[in-house]
Structure 1
Amino acid sequence: MHNAYSNCCGLDIGVKNGKVVGVRGRATDRVNKGRLGPKGLHGWKAIHSPDRLKYPLVRRNGRLERASWDEAMNLIVAKSKELQNHLTNHSIAFYTSGQLFLEEYYALALVGKAGLHTLHMDGNTRLCTATAAASMRESFGSDGQPGSYADIDYTECLFLVGHNMAATQTVLWSRVLDRLAGPNPPQLVVVDPRLSETARKATLHLAPRVGTNLALLNGIQYLMFKNDWIDHDYVSKHVVGLEGLKATVSDYNPKTVEHITGVPAEELEKAARIIGTSKSLLSTALQGVYQSNQATASACQINNINLLRGMIGKPGCGILQMNGQPTAQNNREAGCDGEFPGFRNHKNPNHIADLARLWNIEPIQVPHWNEPTHVQNLLNYIESGSVRMFWISGTNPLVSLPNLPRVRDLLTRPELFVVCQDIYLTETAAIADVVLPAAQWAEKTGCFTNADRTVHISHKAVDPPGEAKSDLDIFLDYARRMGFKDKDGKDLLPWTKPEEVFEAWKKLSAGRPCDYTGLSYELLTGGSGIQWPCNAEHPRGKERLYTDGVFFTDIDYCESFGHDLETGAPLSKAQFEAMNPAGRAILKACHYLPPMDEPDEEFPLRLSTGRKIHQFHTRTKTGRTALQKACPEPEVRISETDAARFGVSDGEMVVVRSRKGAVELKCRVGRIAEGQVFIPFHFGYWDSHDGRARAANELTFDRWDPVSKQPLFKSGAVCIEKITQPDQHDAAEAAHVRIPEQQSVTLSKVATQDAVKAATATEDLTIRQRKLDVWLGETYEGALALLGIYETLIPSIVHDPEIESGLRVMHRLADDMRAKLEPQLAKYENKDKKKEERGGNEVDEHGHHSMRRAHALRDALFPCSDNNDGDDGNNETTPGPRRTQYQVLETLQALVVFLAHIQSMVAALVPTAQALWDEGFVEAVESAQTCLSRMRAWAAHLVEMRGPQTLLVPF
């Protein structure tokens, strides 16, 4: 049997009388070679915890009560269909985990993307590994770790950035310790604001200020260029973007970096020399990068450093953008968070057609109009009321998400229907409407993949307690009850066993970077895990990617066209094509920007949250084992200097306060840089007995990286307040750091009684009106106004034959656009809504003048034109006085602005039409988009052509 915790180690499970009685590491496994860390050795004990969820629970009269599976699932299906009917499928959202098996993620992906055709699916992998995936897409064209754990055994230099391996991956750390204690130990460069156990073993420890990783990494690259520590032959053949990167990092000399980061210039130079001159280099990163300021940009710089040295795809040389959970990689592969199944590109029509073929549905039904919705936007949609069902599986957002006060408010709203699928009554399950008891890893069969692409199988060893079911069985049951079918009328998810799902997944993975076609349950059983890609070319897996210097950046193959690292805006196919990567890696450059929530006099310390060695995530499992005794409560760690400044001592209770909230914790002094604060994020309230607020996310902000959308847990400013009163709990009460009412550890949901809640929810659903017809009507009005503009402009600049001729073409394009939009407006017009005659001054319930904005903008931009409401495009105009060339330029510039207004309206309609699965509507708005692009190109060209002469020559 195989399983693991955060490293995906191979282990054997001991069973006696139907119970797990112990585990041992599997000596033949390539990941752990028989070793197990604290979580692997002790985590199995939580399987038989007496507070396991054994039966479905349904909320009645404000309390969760035992129910049958039929009752629970029928309630979920009834709510799903009610929401489908009133608010569309896009009112249903899923939030999953890094704890399920590959087969379960793939089934869930089909439920969401092929059954409900929605993009509203994310996972708590968003909180820990979204940046890892994003950085590899940006640099290499696709997700997929280049390196191998075996590289630790060969490398001459380990570069660990924001990765406290001693606490997060103890088994992997033991391999590092073996090297450090053996012959020819590698040099170890560690970047960490704290003096962690990993940093204590470092050849060189760099302790930058929290949030300044990018400046530090730019500084290392500055020195690499300065000292010519570049493999020019490799870079010339296998990399693009060199000159842009060199220009960007030229601003980051050691003194500048010291000013930003606090790292002494001589230490930066020493680090660059070690990294730049070592004969091999293995670089890793984890949450110190991913959950910090400019996360994706920083992770890309780590990729850059290895690429500049040509140290990728070789023994001892590589990059491991680490995962924080055992099956986070599978979540990404299967497409249950920010990706599409098989690392496919949603902007590539061939990739979408491929998914449609494999799922036997129409291509337009594959949701590809945007990137999948990240969890912060899901919360925004819950707040606005457009998401009304939230299905949470295997995760605990009421402890793990940032800005807990807001999360509690949203997830306990009466109108939100919450389904929670878990193994214990977590803080989140306690406020759910339906709770589904799930099986744990030893109680089901499935595959899982770790950070170096090693695939394991975990065989069922024991039965789950009571009526608990595997996550796979729950998702398949939901699909059957919902009646999801393919286009031939067959079951969309026809499987009954995990192996059947695995075989279907293999077909979907074929030809993609994560190719599983050579794997099977039989091959994975009894020995070691095997790395993907595993196929006919690599029947025993492939240890390292990019051994031939060919990356996944071919325009027809890549998973993503990339993003602007500063703004987060996705790049177009044309922009990607202009870089011409064609199988070469991309050096992505970015300037440092300070974190938004910087310390000040009131909040003078920088906050960072993270892990402890003995606990995992929100302690759902580890808190129910002996590991709890080794780490029983949260603590705040500050420096000796800061302790003296605030008059607090080691072991004393203090209040930590941010602009969002406050907690009361025990203070630990030392082993952290001045001005920094560290709090573990594991602790919530399910086992709290003293009433203190202690969850780290009471303090954090809901801000995220612009590219990966990963929350910035390692940012924000806090202050430390000494508790001076003798009675600490009275002091805590005065400091307002009690457990919030919504998170009291009872089964009561902070909501109205069921009858009132149901009546309110039903009334709310039936009185709603969507805004598509308003937006579409405004777009149509813009086309009509544009026709009037063209007819008004003709006499205004009639003496210019070139413009006059062009305007006749523009008029035809505008009329084509109007003709395409008109039948769509008729189709989607709200027939129940009384409208004034089109072109009138309709006011909706929010007081918005919805049909006149285009005309108001036209009148503002063209005040001298004869705007006699030429809405039908046939108004007559009288030639006005001849305009100067400057006035002509102003008029053309006004046209560019007006066209941009209409194009932004159409830009919202393109994905909307796709989300409606209406091919006629899609064709109409795409045609309108093409017409507008041609018009904007014509107008912009005239502005550029006339600008110099008009602006430079006096007249």
Structure 2
Amino acid sequence: MPCETRTTCPYCGVGCGVIATVEDEGKVSVRGDPDHPANYGRLCSKGSALAETLGLDGRALYPEILGERTTWDTALDMVARTFTQTIAAHGPDSVAFYVSGQLLTEDYYVANKLMKGFIGSANIDTNSRLCMASSVAGHRRAFGADTVPACYEDLELADLVVLVGSNMAWCHPVLYQRLAAAKAQRPAMKVVVIDPRRTATCDIADLHLAVRADGDVALFNGLLAHLAESGAIDENYVARHTAGFAEALLAASHGSLADLSEATGISGMLIRQFFRLFAQTEKVVTCYSQGVNQSSVGTDKVNAILNCHLGTGRIGRPGMGPLSLTGQPNAMGGREVGGLANMLAAHMAIENPVHRGRVQRFWNAPMMADTPGLKAVDMFKALADGRLKAIWIVSTNPVVSMPDADAVKAALAACPFVVVSDIQKDTDTARLAHVLLPATAWGEKSGTVTNSERRISRQRPFLSAPDEARADWWQFAEVAKRMGFRPHFDYSGPAAIYAEHAALSAFENDGERDFDIGAHAGIDDHAYEDLLPFQWPLSQTGASQARFFAEGGFFTADRKARLVPVATPVMQRPDPRFPFTQNTGRIRDHWHTMTRTGKSARLSAHFAEPFCEIHPSDANKAGIGDADLVRIDGENGRSIIVRALLTERQMRGALFVPMHWTGETAPSARVDTLVSPVADPISGQPALKMARVAVSRYVPQVHGFLITTARPRDLPFAYWAIARTEAGYRLEFAGSPPADGWETWLRHSLQRGEDQEFSGYVDRKTGDHRLLAFDGDQLLVGLFVSPEPVLVSRQWAADQLKQSHPDRQARSRLFAGRPAAGAPDKGAIVCSCFSVGINEISAAAHRGCHSIETIGAALNAGTNCGSCRPEIRRILDANQALAAE
């Protein structure tokens, strides 16, 4: 009989419930959990494809030391011995942990306890530093604690939703669909998008404010001043529940509307329209994400937003309040256990001696860290200059994701001792490990995660751990035991860790701290297994609470919120040598560095290679055409090569490059190599969206496209990008032709012997090369090379790998790289859920399908996760415009 397991999605901070079904023969399928209050059955394209990412290819399956297989005992003994010796010789601050929002709360808890309470250093930080640290700092400055005051239901109850620095349609798709459905039911609801790019989220926007990079502080300072001038301030709330309003207003009230327009890049007319809308609408929710946080003034941006909600008292009531949209599935859980270097567990402060003493007594810890540790950017600088002698990196890939990523790579290469725990063996970071420890993955792990609305849910295993993979909490606990701390880390399983975590949250609390799940302090294995999703706080005496602060009750000494005066940053005059502002972020169907999503051919079909969005006017000025390759040069002397995507959705003077590609998938496109390690001085969060760069056309000798059933190796090209297909791989490449010729290179790269027959031709006039290889009726290889970008129908060509080709005469048509006239060609994939291409949507439009609903009825496109609906709408609009000409 099929076995169903209720678990939680491992991608973004929405925290969707998933039902995983394992059939008798072992096949896994997933669907949304209709009873989970985060998603009510909805899943995005990534969540829908989870079953396609469970294969063991590339997995780390056993411990290794210097690339050689070893036993767990040997590996763990080496880690414990080396950390102990390093601490003895250089002190506790000579070692560090760099962990991840991909960890479960139980993993995070054990790591934090070991580093801060038993090693005695606070040198544990997380890749959540790269996405949510400014939100944490802003919350703590305003509320006295890292409290998210709103919940998802507020999106559906609001009359105005303001999305700041958030491409919700692609980065939090299920929340976007909840918002879109609410707006469809109540058309009077207004949505404002504040973002330099006209993203897919603007599909439902009533107003798009294309703010200049880092213009958010000026905009929300201007809004606060307008709220005061228009009488929208809730003077009673301000007087009873806040402090610092006058100072914040004074800081915000400088300059004219013309000055504000100059500082933000937004026309005065649009600014006035937004200000009036906000002032006149009581039920306002402001959602913000990485566009706010990933900035050198990110904390000030957060507080400028919070000031507007505190000043109007629009907080803690249904349909109103600020809502930070978390990037990772358990960034919130990490924050709850003190996973950041400047925090303690259970939302206590490391700089507070009372808090330190409380945690030390609860843990019975021998040497409690008493000062903040190294934040992520500083941690890797300390590796580079030798202050850190040993580091343990868990479930993250800093050689790709950190700013100045090449410097991070060099620092790790020079570090005396690097431990990496990961599910994949050959990430850019794992290749630098002295000790590699195989971790369990989603579907194998057991624990809890917390989503953006403070909802704690279970991740439950439905697969056995492969070979020697082990849970991350177990790895930390085993090392702790070997370092002499056995009684404090002798956990029977994740339920025991969760119970201790819950007990600490309630320890000497009495309502002083926001985070309290003391109701679960005595939870046993059975109750833990059956744990239903709930929002904290859930104390031993109280009920769960959806919202905070409607009646004050902040977590400051006087229980009042602080409106923080924030100065509008002075605009920096751009260096004419680097005239563009480079923005980075996610695309719709991929996640982080693709260790999971890259395994799905369906998810790789929408964007199969890295790209640079550039405005057509900027491209024309630089001599760049659509689909040309471009070279982007950073101020730090490093450069990348990506494909040009010309679009008016991008503002002039700005570029957008996705963050997902790595040394495994497109080594020339590791975009964070261009980002300087400049961080917000308060939060320590790096400014990943503000690199200053130059862009130019890259002109290689040849361009190529390869389809193959086997992954190629030894790719000697300046640019290449590889992606999965249903029956193999597709490769884009450009550079110089191989010295020994294309056939010789192919045989070597694909390990095809001399007995493998290739057929092909060369067009002497155009310089085009074509090579094909078959095994019986199956196409094994198709190579298309040209001096110009190759004109091949990519999706059609990739599909030929899974087709049978018995007609030898018809095989010659494959050399064209496109179907014969009248034959079907779906074109570039638009809807990943149902593999529907742009040509199919355009053809349906010509047949009379002029709405998203009729396209859905005809093709299914847009009927599952809905993430592709904005793109379908643009295709329909373009076809209607063509028909009208």
Asked whether the two chains share a fold, i.e. TM above 0.5, the reply is: yes
Q: What corresponds to 1:516 in structure 2?
A: 517
**Cα distance between partner residues in 2 of 1:122 and 1:479:** 18
Deviations along 1:171-228, whole A, 9 cap, x unmatched? 1111011012113442111100000011232111101111221111111122112212
Which of 80, 92, 95 is residue 92 of structure 1 equivalent to?
Answer: 95
- What secondary structure is seen at the aligned counterpart in 1 of 2:96? strand
Which of 183, 186, 198 is residue 186 of structure 2 equivalent to?
Answer: 183
Q: What corresponds to 1:666 in structure 2?
A: 643
In terms of fraction of residues, the more helix-rich structure is: 1
Q: What corresponds to 2:64 in structure 1?
A: 57
- The change in CA–CA distance for 1:728 and 1:155 in structure 2 (over 3 A counts) is same
**Cα distance between partner residues in 1 of 2:308 and 2:502:** 34
Q: What corresponds to 1:428 in structure 2?
A: 429
**Cα distance between partner residues in 1 of 2:350 and 2:397:** 29
- The change in CA–CA distance for 1:522 and 1:550 in structure 2 (over 3 A counts) is farther
Which of 38, 44, 63 is residue 45 of structure 2 equivalent to?
Answer: 38
Q: What corresponds to 1:702 in structure 2?
A: 677
In the TM superposition, what is the alpha-carbon distance from 1:594 to its structure 2 partner?
Answer: 3.7
Contact 2:165 2:292 in 1 (8 A): yes
In terms of fraction of residues, the more strand-rich structure is: 2
Q: What corresponds to 1:628 in structure 2?
A: 604
Alignment of 1:385-424 (within 5 A): 385-413=386-414, 415-424=415-424
Alignment of 1:556-955 (within 5 A): 582-594=558-570, 599-625=574-600, 626-660=602-636, 661-670=638-647, 671-688=649-666, 693-724=668-699, 726-727=701-702
Contact 1:110 1:493 in 2 (8 A): no
In the TM superposition, what is the alpha-carbon distance from 1:29 to its structure 2 partner?
Answer: 1.0
* More displaced 10-residue stretch of structure 1: 85-94 or 586-595: 586-595
Q: Which amino acid aligns with 1:423?
A: I
Deviations along 1:729-768, whole A, 9 cap, x unmatched? 9xxxxxx9679xxxxxxxxxxxxxxxxxxxxxxxxxxxxx
- What secondary structure is seen at the aligned counterpart in 1 of 2:660? coil
**Cα distance between partner residues in 1 of 2:279 and 2:598:** 43
Q: What corresponds to 2:7 in structure 1?
A: 2
Deviations along 1:510-553, whole A, 9 cap, x unmatched? 133111112457667558510000123433x1111123221111
Q: Which amino acid aligns with 2:672?
A: N
**Cα distance between partner residues in 1 of 2:58 and 2:519:** 41
Q: Provide the identity percentage.
A: 30
Contact 1:18 1:463 in 2 (8 A): no
- The change in CA–CA distance for 1:436 and 1:18 in structure 2 (over 3 A counts) is farther
Deviations along 1:674-717, whole A, 9 cap, x unmatched? 111111111111134xxx51111121111101111001011121
**Cα distance between partner residues in 2 of 1:300 and 1:348:** 22
Alignment of 1:219-234 (within 5 A): 219-234=222-237
Contact 2:640 2:669 in 1 (8 A): yes
- The change in CA–CA distance for 1:440 and 1:724 in structure 2 (over 3 A counts) is closer
Q: What corresponds to 1:380 in structure 2?
A: 381
- The change in CA–CA distance for 1:22 and 1:244 in structure 2 (over 3 A counts) is same
- What secondary structure is seen at the aligned counterpart in 1 of 2:688? coil
**Cα distance between partner residues in 2 of 1:346 and 1:642:** 48
Contact 1:28 1:528 in 2 (8 A): no
TM-score (norm 1): 0.70
Q: Which amino acid aligns with 1:376?
A: V
Q: What corresponds to 1:317 in structure 2?
A: 320
Q: What corresponds to 2:121 in structure 1?
A: 118
Q: Which amino acid aligns with 1:669?
A: L
Q: What corresponds to 1:22 in structure 2?
A: 29
Q: What corresponds to 1:351 in structure 2?
A: 355
Q: Which amino acid aligns with 1:101?
A: L
**Cα distance between partner residues in 2 of 1:653 and 1:441:** 36
**Cα distance between partner residues in 1 of 2:686 and 2:478:** 33
Q: What corresponds to 2:861 in structure 1?
A: none
Which of 81, 84, 108 is residue 105 of structure 1 equivalent to?
Answer: 108
Contact 1:327 1:449 in 2 (8 A): yes
**Cα distance between partner residues in 2 of 1:186 and 1:697:** 38
Contact 1:106 1:334 in 2 (8 A): yes
Give aligned pairs, total: 690
- The change in CA–CA distance for 1:593 and 1:663 in structure 2 (over 3 A counts) is same
Q: What corresponds to 2:456 in structure 1?
A: 455
Contact 2:622 2:697 in 1 (8 A): yes
Deviations along 1:144-177, whole A, 9 cap, x unmatched? 2100001112110101110110011111111011
| Structure 1, unaligned runs of 5 or more | 486-490, 555-581, 730-735, 740-955
| Structure 2, unaligned runs of 5 or more | 1-5, 705-716, 721-885
Q: Which amino acid aligns with 1:30?
A: P
* More displaced 10-residue stretch of structure 1: 516-525 or 230-239: 516-525
Deviations along 1:612-641, whole A, 9 cap, x unmatched? 111111111111113122222111001122
**Cα distance between partner residues in 1 of 2:482 and 2:610:** 44
Deviations along 1:405-459, whole A, 9 cap, x unmatched? 211111111x421100000021100111111000012112101101100000122
**Cα distance between partner residues in 1 of 2:201 and 2:172:** 11
Q: What corresponds to 1:948 in structure 2?
A: none
- What secondary structure is seen at the aligned counterpart in 1 of 2:347? coil
Q: Report which of the two structures shows the higher radius of gyration computed on alpha carbons.
A: 1
Contact 2:303 2:566 in 1 (8 A): no
Matched, 1:247 2:224: no
In the TM superposition, what is the alpha-carbon distance from 1:114 to its structure 2 partner?
Answer: 1.4
- What secondary structure is seen at the aligned counterpart in 2 of 1:442? coil
Q: What corresponds to 2:724 in structure 1?
A: none
Contact 1:312 1:547 in 2 (8 A): yes
Q: Which amino acid aligns with 2:8?
A: N
**Cα distance between partner residues in 2 of 1:475 and 1:630:** 38
**Cα distance between partner residues in 2 of 1:480 and 1:46:** 34
- What secondary structure is seen at the aligned counterpart in 2 of 1:2? strand
**Cα distance between partner residues in 2 of 1:253 and 1:183:** 36
Deviations along 1:228-250, whole A, 9 cap, x unmatched? 22111111111111111111111
**Cα distance between partner residues in 2 of 1:672 and 1:193:** 7
Q: What corresponds to 2:539 in structure 1?
A: 535
Which of 494, 499, 505 is residue 498 of structure 1 equivalent to?
Answer: 494
Q: What corresponds to 1:776 in structure 2?
A: none
In the TM superposition, what is the alpha-carbon distance from 1:600 to its structure 2 partner?
Answer: 2.4
Contact 2:409 2:429 in 1 (8 A): no
In the TM superposition, what is the alpha-carbon distance from 1:125 to its structure 2 partner?
Answer: 0.4
Q: What corresponds to 2:477 in structure 1?
A: 476
Contact 1:599 1:716 in 2 (8 A): no
Deviations along 1:492-516, whole A, 9 cap, x unmatched? 2121211111111111111331111
